[in-house]
């Protein structure tokens, strides 16, 4: 009896090491330069904003709202609010989605509105592959006249006029391979590289660079009532005009009695933090995340806060609802 328990514990430890090792190897295989899109600590539950193929994975009419206050205490710090929904169609292989995102950094404002289409391709008895398309537009505004320059005695021609682009179309693609115990996703949510110029044509902003996202997650049983889920997200862009390194997010979460998630996160060259989520009857979920910067921003900021609420409406009452881990 003792030997069986010991062997079981060894298997659990090996599964954890194997899972983390796979995620690290996949993440290390990418190199890049920079990223601009909004970041989310609870990315594993907000995947649709960056990957259209995620639409339909909840197998229900679903809604999610998320609010993120980044670097609290710093004037002009990023504020991001997002709303997403997804719905399966009568053709069970097809699903549609919608994403609305408001992102403000200082005087720079972006509003995104994108629709998603995903198609399910069965690849085995336990795995599915979804292929997705994303299409929509960005509303961008930036009042350059409102900026205060260091030398107030001179007029900087780069900070004159207003950048106000009401409708900048874009589109993206994605793929999402998943089962009940793992997922791997790859996406490019905005393919068109847009450059926004002000009305005086003296200043431009690289407002929409082409970002590449690679994501993965695994779930292991650690006992009868505990599950372990390591996940990763790599964000990359290949622009020669920016010089920031690739950004890697790693998280380790534990699910207790199918009701509560607790975990920790690490974001390369940026922050560490924790994540918690409460599940109510498999329909309502409330999540909270806190980040603390590991850079010099910790001297002027008390951290970042993120709140997420999701709700699912089961259209087919007779359908058996199985636990959803991603």
Q: Say if 12 falls within a structural domain.
A: yes
Using pLDDT thresholds of 50, 70 and 90, give the confidence band for residue 20. very low
Q: Say if 181 falls within a structural domain.
A: yes
- pLDDT for residue 323: 74
Encode 145-182: b = buried (16+ Cβ within 10 Å), e = exposed.
eeeeeeeeeeeeeebebebebeebebbbbbbbbbeebb
Distance CA 194, CA 209 (A): 7
pLDDT tens, residue by residue, 93-120: 999 999 999 999 888 888 999 999 999 9
Q: Say if 322 falls within a structural domain.
A: no
Residue carrying structure tokens 């390369």: 268
Q: Say if 318 falls within a structural domain.
A: no
In this structure, what CATH number is given to the domain that contains residue 191? Answer: 2.40.160.40
pLDDT tens, residue by residue, 245-263: 688 999 999 999 999 999 9
Query: Euclidean distance between the first and final Cα of the chain, in Å?
Result: 35
Indicate the number of domains in the chain: 1
Give the domain extent around 254: 2-313
Note the maximum CA span of the chain: 82
Average pLDDT, the chain: 82
Q: Say if 210 falls within a structural domain.
A: yes
Q: Say if 324 falls within a structural domain.
A: no
The answer to pTM > 0.85 is no
Q: Say if 117 falls within a structural domain.
A: yes
Q: Where are the alpha helices (DSSP H) in the chain?
A: 2-28
Q: Both tokens of residue 142?
A: 């930036």
Is residue 101 within 8 A of residue 138, CB to CB? The reply is no
Q: Say if 319 falls within a structural domain.
A: no
pLDDT exceeds cutoff 90 at 130: yes
């Amino acid at each position: 009896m003792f030997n069986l328990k010991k062997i079981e514990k060894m298997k659990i430890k090996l599964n954890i090491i194997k899972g983390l090792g796979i995620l690290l190897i996949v993440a290390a295989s990418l190199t890049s330069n920079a990223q601009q899109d909004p970041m989310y600590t609870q990315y594993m539950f907000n995947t649709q904003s960056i990957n259209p193929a995620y639409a339909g994975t909840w197998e229900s009419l679903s809604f999610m709202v998320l609010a993120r206050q980044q670097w609290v205490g710093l004037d002009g710090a990023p504020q991001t609010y997002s709303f997403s929904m997804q719905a399966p169609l009568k053709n069970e292989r097809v699903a549609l989605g919608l994403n609305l995102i408001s992102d403000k950094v200082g005087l720079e404002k972006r509003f995104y509105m994108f629709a998603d289409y995903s198609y399910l391709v069965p690849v085995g008895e336990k795995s599915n592959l979804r292929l997705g398309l994303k299409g929509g537009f960005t509303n961008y505004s930036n009042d350059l006249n409102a900026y205060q320059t260091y030398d107030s005695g001179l007029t900087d021609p780069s900070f004159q006029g207003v950048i106000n682009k009401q409708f900048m179309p874009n589109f993206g693609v994605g793929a999402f391979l998943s089962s009940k115990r793992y997922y791997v996703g790859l996406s490019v949510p905005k393919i068109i590289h847009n450059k926004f110029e002000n009305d005086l044509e003296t200043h431009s902003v690289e407002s929409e660079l082409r970002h590449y996202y690679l994501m993965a997650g695994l779930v292991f049983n650690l006992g009868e009532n505990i599950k372990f889920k390591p996940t990763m997200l790599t964000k990359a862009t290949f622009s020669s005009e920016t010089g920031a390194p690739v950004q890697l997010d790693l998280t380790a979460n534990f699910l207790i009695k199918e009701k509560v998630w607790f975990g920790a996160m690490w974001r390369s060259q940026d922050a560490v933090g924790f994540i918690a989520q409460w599940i109510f009857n498999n329909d309502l979920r409330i999540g909270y995340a806190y980040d603390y910067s590991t850079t010099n921003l910790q001297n002027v900021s008390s951290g970042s806060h993120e709140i997420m609420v999701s709700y699912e409406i089961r259209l087919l009452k007779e359908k058996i609802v199985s636990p959803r881990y991603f």
